[in-house]
């Protein structure tokens, strides 16, 4: 399939910015004043895109994983791994895909040949990999499983409540737990597990925080609270909560700039049009930057923030730290924003 070049005026993004077109089953690739589209990718709600070498891999909610050539900007192969997929990770040279339905985790080769199916009997979330291992959580069984890249399950841990997403940093797997909000802490170096209370869910949760992109800097994780207008600060060395950052809305994503100076946060509900910028533990800037901001991503050098404004059908490039729009381009129903190239 050849990419379709769209008309673009005034946009000069210097890097490759990949944007999921949620309702169109397509990816828009923005670079150097041009926009290319890769179509025929299926249901891309909650889609995840990752890069490896000259390839990109895309998992959509309809259970398909797509292999894309990033140089020729074309779809190479598309394989169905289930009825509903939620995420994937690289484990060595292999690709591991977690499914909601059926209750399975699949191991695939780089060219998307299925090599092993792990049956879990549960919706599977929070899939992460580290040093020849991958870890995931079972929502319906309230468990965490650790396996090697060949698919051999090495260890299982019981959680006290339902897990919903996770972060893995330097061998520490942090998983968010519902009712009441807790953080499960699995130390992969010692294979020990414990839980730390965080707070209490005070508001109706319209959109579950995406904990897989928790901000991490200087040995601390910045965790979007469930049903609370705050970030929790979690020490990855001491393995405990060490602080909170008050926010104006219910957080969805919290991302750290590459140099570690800023944390950007977007919101659900009444603040879904806004982005907040945090410096030294407090909000220093709050701007309405779109209409329903679904995703945020810092540029590679940290001078800009890319945001997808869903109801405006636009991707915007904001300057840091003032959060002013310096460039924008029309992209139909944009959601996830990813950097490649």
The tens digit of pLDDT for each residue in 300-335 reads: 999 999 999 999 999 999 999 999 999 999 999 999
pTM of the model: 0.91
Judge whether residue 5 has pLDDT over 50.
no
How many C-beta atoms surround the C-beta of residue 104 within 10 A? 19
- Domain spans in the chain, listed from the N-terminal domain onward: 45-158
Q: CA-based diameter of the chain, in Å?
A: 54
**DSSP codes, 127-187:** EEEETTEEEEEETTTTEEEEEETT--EEEEEE-SS-EEEEEEETTEEEEEETTTTEEEEEE
Please report the pLDDT score of residue 287 as a whole number. Answer: 98
Contact 217, 210 (CB under 8 A): no
pLDDT at residue 209 in the model: 67
Cα–Cα–Cα angle for 264, 269, 270, rounded to 5 degrees: 90
Rounded-to-integer distance, Cα 305 and Cα 60, Å? 24
Rounded to whole angstroms, how far apart are CA atoms 277 and 252?
Answer: 14
Euclidean distance between CA atoms 115 and 92, whole angstroms: 14
Going edge to edge, which strands form the sheet with 250-256? 250-256, 262-268, 274-279, 282-288
Does residue 247 register a pLDDT over 80?
A: yes
Percent of the chain with pLDDT strictly greater than 70: 91
337, with CB counted inside 10 A (0-12, 13-18, 19+), is: buried
Which fold is adopted by the domain 45-158? Answer: Methylamine Dehydrogenase; Chain H (2.130.10)
Exposure class string for 66-100: b at 16+ Cβ within 10 A, else e? bbbebeebebeebbebbebbbbbbbbeebbbbbbb
Judge whether residue 38 has pLDDT over 90: yes
CA–CA separation, 18 and 28 (whole Å): 6
Nearest residue to 216 via CA among 265, 166, 260: 260
At 93 the pLDDT is 95
Q: What is the mean pLDDT of residues 260-278?
A: 96
User: What are the distances in angstroms from CA 129 to CA 20, 51, 170, 221, 228?
Assistant: 24, 15, 11, 17, 29
Query: In this predicted model, what pLDDT tens digit does every residue of 124-171 receive, in sequence order?
Result: 999 999 999 999 999 999 999 999 999 999 999 999 999 988 999 889
């Amino acid at each position: 399939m050849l990419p379709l070049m769209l008309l673009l005026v005034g946009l000069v993004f210097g890097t490759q910015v990949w944007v999921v077109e949620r309702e169109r089953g397509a990816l828009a690739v923005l670079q150097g004043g041009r926009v290319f589209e890769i179509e025929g990718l299926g249901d891309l709600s909650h889609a995840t895109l990752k890069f490896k070498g000259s390839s990109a891999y895309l998992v959509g909610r309809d259970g398909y994983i797509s292999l894309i050539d990033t140089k020729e900007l074309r779809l190479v192969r598309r394989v169905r791994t289930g009825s509903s997929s939620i995420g994937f990770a690289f484990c060595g040279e292999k690709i591991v895909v977690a499914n909601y339905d059926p209750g399975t985790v699949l191991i695939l080769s780089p060219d998307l040949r299925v090599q092993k199916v792990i049956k879990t009997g549960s919706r599977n979330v929070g899939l992460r990999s580290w040093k020849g291992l991958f870890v995931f959580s079972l929502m319906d069984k309230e468990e965490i499983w650790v396996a090697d890249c060949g698919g051999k399950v090495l260890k299982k841990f019981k959680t006290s409540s339902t897990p919903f997403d996770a972060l893995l940093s330097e061998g520490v797997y942090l998983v968010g737990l519902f009712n009441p909000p807790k953080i499960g802490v699995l130390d992969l170096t010692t294979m020990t597990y414990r839980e730390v209370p965080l707070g209490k869910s005070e508001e109706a949760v319209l959109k579950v925080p995406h904990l897989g992109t928790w901000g991490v800097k200087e040995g601390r994780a910045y965790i979007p609270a469930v049903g609370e207008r705050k970030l929790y600060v979690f020490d990855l060395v001491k393995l405990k909560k060490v602080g909170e950052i008050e926010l104006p809305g219910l957080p969805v994503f919290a991302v750290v700039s590459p140099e570690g100076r800023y944390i950007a946060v977007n919101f659900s509900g009444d603040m879904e049009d806004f982005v907040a910028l945090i410096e030294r533990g407090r909000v220093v800037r709050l701007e309405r930057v779109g209409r329903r901001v679904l995703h945020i991503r810092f540029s590679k050098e940290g001078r800009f923030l890319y945001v997808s404004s869903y109801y405006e059908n636009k991707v915007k490039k904001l300057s840091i730290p003032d959060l002013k729009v310096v460039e924008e381009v029309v992209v139909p129903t944009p959601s996830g924003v990813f950097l490649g190239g």
